[in-house]
Structure 1
């Protein structure tokens, strides 16, 4: 018992970002872009998600199978699980609609389920019931694609890091990554506590009552989530994402710092000061940077409460720490039929992908473990900037 208490005390010291380590400038400049895999018509990652995918429909099942095939073929070391639930909806005529969450987990080799803390990368993959034919590119096909590319890009570095561990670093041996692609976020008629977040509510409730073995460090799968990083409504130009929660402002500041460094290094494609954009205009003077995360210097006493309803709500209600990456105000295409692939700003999509990748790599302390000689996937190289 005394050992368990001491171990939990150690874990508390290791949490709250104490192990967070910045990437070098060279690593930041070489983080791989998605290249053609984000092409909205034929890209192997994004294009299959850009379709109607209302929960319980064939389109929803097809997109879920796309996720499964991606992990099985490209990331075989990740453990794939499907979490199933059913519920009636205001438009189902009393019939139960299936909701299926996909969970992909990569833990250090040899670790035990209840002894690993995880960074959770989260987005919802269902699309809205109305208007008819709604695609939901920002909401949230693009965020799903971002997470998939991030997972693929850090996978080999995770393997290399864990292989290099001598077994004496507690943090290395007990820290993993989990991806939650959630179903049923959208309301079928109008947003209420019961007509929304179907998959998230079911998963959070089940995980609250799923217990690890008595000797485990973490009591439940919810306790194992060190940070729930939720991406939503990303892909429109010039987003502005505030820091919503005081308890995770430290994590927001880390991501904001990564953005600032990426911009100063000239690798943010949506920046007016990116080399490609400078060439296009007559006035070559630098312009003000439109930061995605403008509140990195926000004071702790500036939090006034309030937040955006989203998939994090049932997890936050159970004590999970949340970093919510959703713009305020919402993009103009939100819940409009124009939220499709053609209305994505692809430079912004790629920039968000690189920023989330940098954050995940810094969280997992992957500096020195990337192999950039293995080739990239068609992104702009430094020599072309």
Structure 2
């Protein structure tokens, strides 16, 4: 991603206003203290999300081997599977490690009930790097949990996104906050909420077809290969947004493209460092920022947060007017998709340095982000009554 100071154009304002109808929330209910506590107690984020889940002496290659051989076949309280540590390896686009990490994602979702996978593999022209100029293969992975009975009417999806690629330079860069930790949090969220989502749909099968599904995207090629530009960055996001915009819908559905099946596009990035401060970037989706902040307050009041005595992570009363960030949401935002960008300002001090590794992650912060995001999504999808 790239931070810049913009002159907000009238075009973007019009695009934001055009998204107003589609981004107004359906009736949602925040989880109570009791419901959130029951949810997290039944499925604790740690040790699965601990950067030190494997011993510190374990090499990256052996972690990769564990990942590819089934280290993430789901988790339970007696035998948790590592979610984060298998991603803490260099994973540049087109590399063997990128394939290992994708297999980690796929193995995890294959073990969950009712999820379907879509692979968006493509080849793009890239600038010269490492003495090579030409084409490079990229792969986006999309996982969907779709309401039953919705075959005749396309479902809308709450869409959660993180990029999984890492920078080519400096050599050996891992990108723990950028964005291994967000990817692992999305894996945890899917595993934790799947049984409750399915229980909700089973309880009212007649209404399930009109319910909101859950879509998780692991985006490739967010990082620039040489120097950030409109053409050397956001490879996966640019390709997927263009693809879905071109995939047309019959007009009677009220949505003209697959892109419009996105209920809300929530991008997680640079999460896992200590003491983050995440503002709200778009007034039109500030309602979602406030809901996330409310979930954080509930988690802290219930004693579920491991970070103590610090200001809240989410600053929902701070809507940034003069800061603009180029990131994977941009190709979707410019097409009118409602966006929530969960990214701290300022960026973590380890950003784009070799210190952005597992040793510099805050396990407590990763834990709390998992609780906050998972609890918020549970409320968004109306799961409170199904959490014992």
TM-score after normalising by structure 2 = 0.83
Corresponding position: 1:293 with 2:314: yes
Pairwise CA RMSD: 1.9
- Counterpart mapping for 1:217-296 below 5 A: 217-272=254-309, 289-294=310-315, 296=316
Q: Which runs of 5+ in 1 are unaligned?
A: 1-11, 273-288, 372-385
Structure 1 CA distance for aligned equivalents of residues 113 and 298 of structure 2 = 33
The Cα of 1:39 is off from its aligned counterpart by: 3.3
| Larger mean Cα displacement after TM superposition, 147-156 or 258-267 | 258-267
| Alignment correspondent of 2:46 | 35
| Alignment correspondent of 1:317 | 334
Corresponding position: 1:58 with 2:96: yes
| Alignment correspondent of 1:326 | 343
Structure 2 CA distance for aligned equivalents of residues 214 and 18 of structure 1 = 22
Does the residue aligned with 2:83 lie in a helix, a strand or coil? coil
The Cα of 1:28 is off from its aligned counterpart by: 1.3
| Alignment correspondent of 1:138 | 177
Assess, with a 3 A threshold, how the Cα gap between structure 1 residues 218 and 174 changes in structure 2: closer, same or farther.
farther
The Cα of 1:90 is off from its aligned counterpart by: 1.8
Relative to total residues, which structure has the larger strand share, 1 or 2?
Answer: 2
Does the residue aligned with 2:366 lie in a helix, a strand or coil? helix
| Larger mean Cα displacement after TM superposition, 110-119 or 53-62 | 110-119
| Alignment correspondent of 2:236 | 199
1:20 to 18, 21, 28: 28
Structure 1 CA distance for aligned equivalents of residues 21 and 136 of structure 2 = 43
TM-score after normalising by structure 1 = 0.84
The Cα of 1:305 is off from its aligned counterpart by: 4.2
The Cα of 1:29 is off from its aligned counterpart by: 1.5
Whether the aligned pair in 1 keeps the contact of 2:33 and 2:301 (CA below 8 Å) is: no
Q: How many residue pairs align between the two structures?
A: 338
Structure 2 CA distance for aligned equivalents of residues 326 and 187 of structure 1 = 18
The Cα of 1:88 is off from its aligned counterpart by: 2.2
Whether the aligned pair in 2 keeps the contact of 1:114 and 1:221 (CA below 8 Å) is: no
The Cα of 1:307 is off from its aligned counterpart by: 1.6
Runs of 4+ aligned residues of structure 1 deviating over 4 Å after TM superposition are: 12-15
2:144 to 88, 101, 105: 105
| Alignment correspondent of 1:285 | none
Structure 2 CA distance for aligned equivalents of residues 264 and 210 of structure 1 = 45
| Alignment correspondent of 2:376 | 359
